[in-house]
Amino acid sequence: MMKYQRLRGVKDVFSPESGVWERVIGAAFSVFKLYNYSLIITPTIEEISLFSRGIGEASDIVMKEMYDFNDKKGRHIVLRPEGTASVVRAYIENSLPEKSDLFYLGQMFRYERPQTGRYREFYQIGVEAFGDATPYKDADVIKLASDILNSVGIKDAVLNINCLAADAGYYEKLKSFIEEKRAMLCEDCRNKLSRAPIRVLDCKKEGCAAATAGAPLITDHLTPEAGANFLKIKELLKGSGTAFKVNPLMVRGLDYYTATVFEFTTDKLGPQQNTILAGGRYDNLVEELGGKKTPATGFAMGIERIFEVLKASEGAPALSTLDAFIVVDKAFIDRGFELTSSLRKAGIKCAMGHEERSFKSQFREAESRKAKFCVIIGENEAKSGKYSLKDMQGGAQQEITAAEIAAFLKGRP
Ligand code: HAM
């Protein structure tokens, strides 16, 4: 029989790793509730043109990384590489309220070279906030991102911010500066120079970094309005105790950003995938995709990368524990079944085996499932009406009535 294997660049996630995923998703969802964002679910498949228009024909994602195919009717479909364009499409198509604060969770697909923290199918948790053009919203969205990372347990991520709203002369100035050093650039950057000179700033290759050293900085060439907004955002972040670094070389891989952009980075992953969360303002995308001109800002974080960072700081995840495992004599399986359901009603995390088995084998299962206590229902217990409760760490055993078990186990660490 042939054995099947998962495809390259994708992942199976299961316990105990999935326990960390549950924690990350749960923490993010609680923060979304505090900020009053509502869940939006959009399909994983879309028409390809949504992304080629939305993200930019010339971006790496569109040029090299799309998972596209023709369906049975010959429609050109893509597995979404990101969430923003899809959410904007849904916002326009469903005439959602002009002011909408939305969050999402789901798979994205990019045909990239797989490595730690870089997959072909990966999960993003993201937000898109429509209808608020003020710098307060930029600061609020960045604060939301930072609150999520903190509540997930990531304390040492560095927040980089930049603004991309340059005045008319900036790009020409930048282009002619880099043009003079064209020979030092990698082939990719030589191609980028004419269509998006700013992308060259972001290249990590030695020659390109040397070529752009001393290049005019975008933050010195912001439009007056963008400059004032950027200043206000920085003040608001400072005022709220959110540490950040202005990084005028930070450019994003998607074309839709119009002003503030930001990234949270870590040194726990390789240099090519050290960004765990990224986003920014995109005030033209709704209009470009056929809606009314609407200001918008948002971000997305990659769950796989968050997991890798947590693993590096917390160590390998532990199996989740059980408050109690019910060990039963074969004559009392029904009684055990009733007890598990009444304990669960009282909020006790418990389990039992339903097969007729020796006590020894049941205790073994209790240990492997990390049960803190075992409740034993044997002949003596059934007669006396009291159950034995065994502490699986110390080994101490006591007699206890069914009614007392829940109260005893509740509130134990
Ligand atoms: P992005 O920077 O392309 O932005 O991706 C956001 C995050 O998704 C990255 O910081 C990273 O954590 C994760 N990610 C990206 N590619 C991969 C991959 N191949 N494997 C694992 N994780 C990955 C966006 O997608 C924008 N839609 C963000 C946004 C929302 N901007 C405004 N609103």
Residue 1 scores a pLDDT above 80 = no
Residue 240 scores a pLDDT above 80 = yes
Q: Determine if ligand 1 sits within 6 Å of the CB of residue 126.
A: yes
Please name the fold of domain 17-165+222-314. BirA Bifunctional Protein; domain 2 (3.30.930)
Strands 260-265 and 245-246: unpaired
Q: Determine if ligand 1 sits within 6 Å of the CB of residue 265.
A: no
Mean predicted confidence (pLDDT) in 373-387: 91
**300 CA from centroid of ligand 1 (Å):** 6
Which carries the bigger pLDDT value, residue 372 or residue 403? 372
Beta-carbon contacts of 131 under 8 Å, excluding residues fewer than 6 positions away, are 97, 98, 99, 100, 294, 295, 296
Residue 55 scores a pLDDT above 90 = no
Ligand 1 atom with the smallest distance to the CA of 305 is: 12
The residue whose CA has the least distance to atom 25 of ligand 1 is 82
Using alpha carbons only, how large is the chain's radius of gyration in Å?
27
Residue 194 scores a pLDDT above 90 = no
Residues of the chain with CATH 3.30.930.10: 17-165+222-314
* pLDDT score, position 306: 97
**77 CA from centroid of ligand 1 (Å):** 20
**% of the chain surpassing 90 pLDDT:** 81
**302 CA from centroid of ligand 1 (Å):** 6
Please name the fold of domain 322-410. Rossmann fold (3.40.50)
The residue whose CA has the least distance to atom 31 of ligand 1 is 279
53-67, 74-88, 172-186, 367-381: least confident range? 53-67
The residue whose CA has the least distance to atom 15 of ligand 1 is 302
Q: What is the pLDDT of residues 320-337, one digit of tens each?
A: 899 999 999 999 999 999
- Banded model confidence at residue 188, pLDDT cuts 50, 70, 90: confident
What three-state secondary structure class fits 298?
A: strand
**265 CA from centroid of ligand 1 (Å):** 12
Ligand 1 atom with the smallest distance to the CA of 119 is: 20
Beta-carbon contacts of 370 under 8 Å, excluding residues fewer than 6 positions away, are 319, 320, 321, 322
**262 CA from centroid of ligand 1 (Å):** 12
Residue 144 scores a pLDDT above 90 = yes
Residue 78 scores a pLDDT above 90 = yes
Q: Determine if ligand 1 sits within 6 Å of the CB of residue 299.
A: yes
Q: Determine if ligand 1 sits within 6 Å of the CB of residue 304.
A: yes
Mean pLDDT, the chain, whole residue set: 94
Mean predicted confidence (pLDDT) in 53-68: 86
Give the phi and the psi of residue 222 in degrees, each rounded to 5: -80, 155
Q: Determine if ligand 1 sits within 6 Å of the CB of residue 279.
A: yes
The Cα-based distances of 24 to 21, 125, 222 in angstroms read 5, 10, 37
- Banded model confidence at residue 155, pLDDT cuts 50, 70, 90: confident
The residue whose CA has the least distance to atom 18 of ligand 1 is 118
**301 CA from centroid of ligand 1 (Å):** 6
Residue 58 scores a pLDDT above 80 = no
Residue 63 scores a pLDDT above 90 = no
**117 CA from centroid of ligand 1 (Å):** 11
What three-state secondary structure class fits 221?
A: coil
For residue 403, the surrounding DSSP H or E stretch is: helix 402-409
- Banded model confidence at residue 251, pLDDT cuts 50, 70, 90: confident
**123 CA from centroid of ligand 1 (Å):** 9
3-state secondary structure 75-114: CEEEECCCCHHHHHHHHHHCCCCCCEEEEEEEEEECCCCC
The residue whose CA has the least distance to atom 20 of ligand 1 is 118
* pLDDT score, position 270: 76
Q: Determine if ligand 1 sits within 6 Å of the CB of residue 56.
A: no
* pLDDT score, position 384: 87
* pLDDT score, position 50: 95
* pLDDT score, position 343: 95
37-41, 126-130, 134-138, 191-195: least confident range? 191-195
Residue 272 scores a pLDDT above 80 = no
Residue 413 scores a pLDDT above 80 = no
Q: Which of 82, 281, 304 to mutate to test the pocket of ligand 1 (most atoms within 8 A of CB)?
A: 82
- Banded model confidence at residue 383, pLDDT cuts 50, 70, 90: confident
Beta-carbon contacts of 256 under 8 Å, excluding residues fewer than 6 positions away, are 54, 55, 56, 84, 85, 282, 284, 285, 288
In contact, 152 and 306? CB cutoff 8 Å: yes
Mean predicted confidence (pLDDT) in 238-245: 97
Q: Which two structure tokens, joined as six digits, stand for 62?
A: 């569109």
Ligand 1 atom with the smallest distance to the CA of 112 is: 19
- Banded model confidence at residue 136, pLDDT cuts 50, 70, 90: very high
Residues of the chain with CATH 3.40.50.800: 322-410
**% of the chain surpassing 70 pLDDT:** 100
Beta-carbon contacts of 66 under 8 Å, excluding residues fewer than 6 positions away, are 48, 51, 78, 81, 110, 111
Mean predicted confidence (pLDDT) in 46-71: 89
Ligand 1 atom with the smallest distance to the CA of 110 is: 19
Distance CA 31, CA 147 (A): 7
Residue 134 scores a pLDDT above 90 = yes
* pLDDT score, position 203: 84
* pLDDT score, position 201: 87
* pLDDT score, position 76: 95
**275 CA from centroid of ligand 1 (Å):** 8
pTM for the model stands at 0.93
Q: Which two structure tokens, joined as six digits, stand for 200?
A: 């060259």
